[in-house]
Structure 1
Amino acid sequence: MHVVVVHNRYGSAQPSGENKVVDQEAELLRAAGHRVEMFERRSDDIADMSLLGKVAVPLLVPWNRAVRTELAARLRTERPDVVHVHNVFPLLSPAVLAACADAGVPVVATLHNYTQVCVPGTLQRDGRPCTECVGSTPLPAVRHGCYRGSRLATVPLAVSLSANRRRWWSGVQRFLCISASQRDVLVGAGMPAERLAVKHNFVPEPGMRREGGGEHLLYLGRLAEAKGVRLLMAAWDEIAAGGGVGVPLVIAGTGPLEQEVTAWAAGRDDVRCIGLCDTEQSREAIARAVAVVAPSTWLEAFGLVVVEAMAAGVPVVAAGHGAFVELVDDGVTGLLHRPGDTASLASCLRRITDGPDRNGEMGLAARRRYEQGFSPAVGLERLLEEYRTAIAGRSEPMGERINGGQ
C-alpha cells in the first residue's frame, strides 16, 4: 500500500506524544513492506521566518492556499492509495483536505485530542472540565482566551474550527479515535458516528522489562497543569508528612511548570527531577519503576505513557476518567484514583508500593494487556483495516462535497 502521511510537527523543545505516534506508525508500515511518504511542516521553522512571515502565520491557520496547491500537485503525481492526516496546526491547515479532494485520494485522520470540538483540544479551562464550545460555536473560547490565555491567539483557531467543521466531517472517510471515551465525546458533539472508529495507539516493544520490584515511582510527561503535576506534588507532600512510601518520586519531563516543580523538589531526598529524557532513557526509567503515575486532570484521549508502562510490565496509577478507564483495569493492571482528588491519589500511591507480590502480579497483568491490545502486530492490523475501509468507502468525488468554493 502507498500512504502519504500529513503532519505538522510540534516544536522540539517539548516532548510530543503525537510526533512519536506519527513516527512509530510510519516505521511500522515501512517495516511491513508498505511505501510511506511524508508531507510535513515543522513548528520549529516559525522561529526562522521573517517578521512578515511570523505575522502571517495566524492568517494561515484557517486556510493555507499554498499548501493546498503543493499537496494536490504531489498527490496527482504520486497517486497514493490513501492520505493519513494527523496535526494540521499551525502551518498546514484544513486546506490539506481540499488537496486530497482535488486529487481524488481518500483520507484517514487520526484525532489525537479534542480540537474538532474544543479550541485548545483539552476540554478544560482554568484547570477544570469545560464543554462550553462542544456542539456549538467556539465564541466562548475566544471570550475566555482558551489558547495560551490570549483572546487574540485564540481567534484564528476559533475561525478555523467554525469555517472548516463541515469540511472535516464530509472530507474524511475514516476518523481514528484513540479511545472509546474520546469517540463518545465526539459523537455527542455531532460528528458522524459512522465514520468514527476506535484505533488505540500501539507501542513498540521496549526491549527491556522490569526485573524485581522497582526502585522509584515515576512521573514521565509534560510538566503542565492539565497533566496533574500540581495534584501529584500535593499528594506527595501528604505522603511525606506520613513518613513516605520507601521509594523516591522521579519526575521526568519539561514544560510550563518546570521551575515550580524544580523549586518544590529542591533539597528533598524523596524527589528527583531528571529533566527531558530521550527514548532509551525513558524506557530505562519505566523499567526501573514500582509504578508509573498519570494523574491528568483533563480527559486524556489516550495516554501513551500508560501503555509504555504496560509494555515494560509496570503497573500504573492513573486518574479514573477519560481513556485511562479503558486502558487500566483497576486493581488488576494498576489503580485508578478519583480525578483531581489529592487524598485518593496519595492512597493509591501508598497501595501500589505496599506489597511487592501484589505489585508484581499487576505488572504481569499489565504486560498481558499490552500484548493483547497495544502491540505492533495489533496496531498494524487495525491501521491497515481502516485504510482499506476508507479506500472502499470512497463512492463520490470528494471535491463536490468539501471544496466549498475555496
Structure 2
Amino acid sequence: MHVLVVHNRYNTTQPSGENRVVDQEVELLRGGGHRVELFERRSDDIAARSLLGKAAVPLLVPWNPAVRTELAARLRTERPDLVHVHNVFPLLSPSVLAACADAGVPAVATLHNYTQICPPGTLRRDGRLCTDCAGSAPLPAVRHGCYRDSRLATVPVAVGLSVNRRRWWSGVERFFCISAAQREVLVRYGMPAGRLAVKHNFVPEPGAYRERDGEHVLYLGRLAEAKGVRLLMNAWDQLAADGGVGVPLVLAGAGPLEGEVTAWAAGRDDVRYAGLYDPAQCAQAIARSVAVVAPSLSLETFGLVAVEAAAAGVPAVAAAHGGFVELVDDGVTGLLHKPGDTASLTSCLRRITADPVRNHEMGWAARRRYERDFSPAVGLQRLEDEYRTAIAGHSGGGHGAPPARKGNAGPRRGSRAGRDGGK
C-alpha cells in the first residue's frame, strides 16, 4: 500500500510518546514492504517565526487554509491509497480532512487522547476527572482556562473542537482507538461507534531483557501531578518509614515537578532522580528493573511504559483504570492498584518486590502477553487489516482495496522466553 502519514510533531523539549509511536509505525510499515511518506509540521518551528507569525498561530488551530491547499495538491499528484492522520495541533488543523475529501483519498485517524470531546484532551480539571465539555459545546473549558491554565489559549482549541466535530466524524473512514477503555468513553459521548476500532499500539523488540532479579523500581515518564508522581513519592515515603523494599526507586523524565522531585531525592540512598533518558537508556533501565510503576491519576488511553516493560520481561504496577486494565493482567503480568490511593499503591509495591520467584513468573507472563498482543508482527497485521477496511469502505465495498498479504504478517523475532528457557 501507499500511505501518507500526517502528523504535527510535538515540541522536542518534552518527551512525546505520540511522536515515538508515529515513528515506530512508519518504520514498521516500511519494513513490511509498504510505501510510506510524511506530511508534517513541527511545533519546534514556531520559535523561529516572526512575532507576527507567532501571533497568527492560534488563528490556524481551527483551520489552516494553506495546509488544505498544499496537502490536496500533493494528494492529487501522488495518489496514495490512504492518508493516516495523527496529531493536527497546532499547525496542521482539521483542514487536512478537507484536503483528503478534495482529492478523493480515504483518511483514517489514530486517537492518541481525548481531544475529540475535551479541548486539552485529558478529561481532567483541578485534579479530577472532568467531562463537562464531552458531548456538548466546550464553553466550560474556556471558562476554566483548561488548556495551559489560560482562557485565551483555550479559545482556539475550543473553537476548533466545536466547529470541526462533525467534519471529523464524517471525514474519517476509521478511527483507531488505542484501548477499548478509550473507545467506550468516546462512544458514550457521541462519537460514531461504527467507525471506531480498537487498535492497540505495538512496541518494538527492546533489545534488552531482564536477566536477573532487577536493581530498582522504575518510574519512566512525565514528571507531573496527573501522572501520579506525588502519589508515588508519598507511597515510597511510607515504604521507607517501614524499612524500605530492598531496592531504590529511580525516576526518569522531565516535567513541571522536576524541581520538587530533585529536592525530594537529594541525599537519599533509596531514591535517585536520573533526569531525561534517551531511548537506549530507557531500554536498559527497564531491563534492570524489579518492576515499572505507572501510578497515573489520568484516564490514560494506553500506557506505553507497561507494554515496554512486558517486552523486556518486567512486570508493571499500574493504576486500575483507563488503558492499564487492558495492558496489565492483575496478579498475572503485574499488579493494579486503586487509582489515587496511596495505601493501595504502597501495598502493590511491597508485594511486587517481596517475592523474587513470583516476580519472575509475572515477568515471564508479561513477555508472553507482549508476544501475543503487542509485538511488531501483530501490530503490522492489525494496521494492514484496518487500512484495507477503510479503503474498502471508501470505495463502496472493497473494489480497489489492496490484496491481503500472503503468509505471515511480517518477520517475527524469536521469543526471548523460548531462547532462554522461559526467562
Please report the TM-score for the alignment, with normalisation by the length of structure 2.
0.93
Q: Secondary structure at the match of 1:394?
A: helix
Establish whether residue 284 from structure 1 lines up as the match of residue 275 from structure 2: no
| Aligned residue in 2 for 1:105 | 105
The match for 1:75 is 75
Q: How does 1:84-99 map to 2 (within 5 A)?
A: 84-99=84-99
CA distance in 1, matches of 2:11, 2:128: 26
**How far 1:126 sits from its partner (Å)?**
1.4
Partner SS for 1:27: helix
Deviations 1:53-72 (A, max 9, x none): 00000000000000000000
Alignment of 1:90-169 (within 5 A): 90-169=90-169
Q: CA separation in 2, counterparts of 1:153 and 1:52?
A: 16
Q: Match for residue 14 of structure 2?
A: 14
Which one-letter code corresponds to 2:275 in the other structure?
G
Aligned length: 396
Identical-residue share of aligned pairs (%) = 81
Could you say which residue in structure 2 is the equivalent of 1:242? Answer: 242
Quote the residue 1:343 is aligned against: 343
SS in 1 for 2:155: helix
Aligned-partner Cα distance in 2 for 1:22–1:150: 29
Range moving further from structure 2, 356-365 or 258-267: 258-267
- The residue number in structure 2 matching 1:273 is 273
**Whole-angstrom distance in 2 between the partners of 1:101 and 1:135:** 25
- Equivalence for 2:54: 54
In 1, the alpha carbon distance for the partners of 2:66 and 2:394 equals 26
1:333 aligns with 2:333: yes
CA distance, structure 2, for counterparts of residue 16 and residue 8 of structure 1: 12
Q: Deviations over 1:155-198 (max 9, x none)?
A: 00000000000000000000000000000000001100000000
Deviates more, 1:123-132 or 1:288-297: 123-132
Aligned counterpart, 2:352: 352
Instruction: Give the CA deviation at 1:212.
Output: 1.2
Alignment match, 2:205: 205
| Structure 1 letter corresponding to 2:137 | T
| 2:300 alignment partner AA | E
Describe the SS at the equivalent of 2:331.
coil
Shift of 1:256: 1.1
In structure 2, how many angstroms separate the alpha carbons of the residues matched to 1:213 and 1:132? 46
Corresponding letter in the other structure for 1:84: H
Q: What secondary structure sits across from 1:213 in the alignment? A: coil
Q: How far did residue 388 of structure 1 move?
A: 0.5
Q: Deviations over 1:187-215 (max 9, x none)?
A: 00110000000000000001111011101
- Name the SS of the counterpart of 2:40 in structure 1: strand
Give SS of 1:202's match: coil
Equivalent residue number for residue 300 of structure 1: 300
Corresponding letter in the other structure for 2:277: C
In 1, distance between residues paired with 2:41 and 2:102?
20
Tell me if 1:380 matches 2:380. Answer: yes
**Offset, 1:135:** 1.1
- How far did 1:395 drift? 4.6
State the partner residue of 2:412. Answer: none
CA–CA distance in 1 between the matches of 2:48 and 2:208?
39
SS where residue 176 of structure 1 aligns?
Answer: strand
Matches within 5 A, 1:189-228: 189-228=189-228
Matched letter for residue 141 of structure 2:
A
In 2: Cα distance, 1:215 partner to 1:395 partner: 54
Query: Which residue number corresponds to residue 64 of structure 2?
Result: 64
Gaps spanning 5+ residues in structure 2: where? 397-423
Other-structure match for 1:315: 315
CA distance in 1, matches of 2:274, 2:265: 11
Any gaps of 5 or more consecutive residues in structure 1? 397-406
Letter matched to residue 160 of structure 1? G
Question: Counterpart of 1:399?
Answer: none
Q: CA deviation at 1:127?
A: 1.4
1:36 and 2:39 matched:
no
Shift of 1:226: 1.1
Distance of 1:377 and 1:47 partners within structure 2? 39
1:176 aligns with 2:213: no
Per the TM alignment, residue 33 of structure 1 is displaced from its structure 2 partner at its CA by 1.0
3-state SS of paired residue (2:201): coil
Q: Is the partner of 2:119 in helix, strand or coil?
A: coil
Cα distance between partner residues in 2 of 1:243 and 1:125: 36
SS at match of 1:277: coil
CA distance in 1, matches of 2:49, 2:381: 41
C-alpha distance in 2, partners of 1:266/1:134? Answer: 42
Within 1, Cα distance between the matches of 2:102 and 2:256? 41
Residue in 1 that maps onto 2:402 = none
Q: Please give the alpha-carbon distance, in whole angstroms, between the structure 1 residues aligned to 2:208 and 2:267.
A: 32
Q: Distance in 2 between matches of 1:278 and 1:87?
A: 23
Q: Which has the higher contact order (CA 8 A, sep 6+)?
A: 1
The Cα RMSD (Å) is 0.7
Residues 125-176 of structure 1, C-alpha deviation per residue, up to 9 Å, x if partnerless?
Answer: 1111111111111101111110010010000000000000000000000000
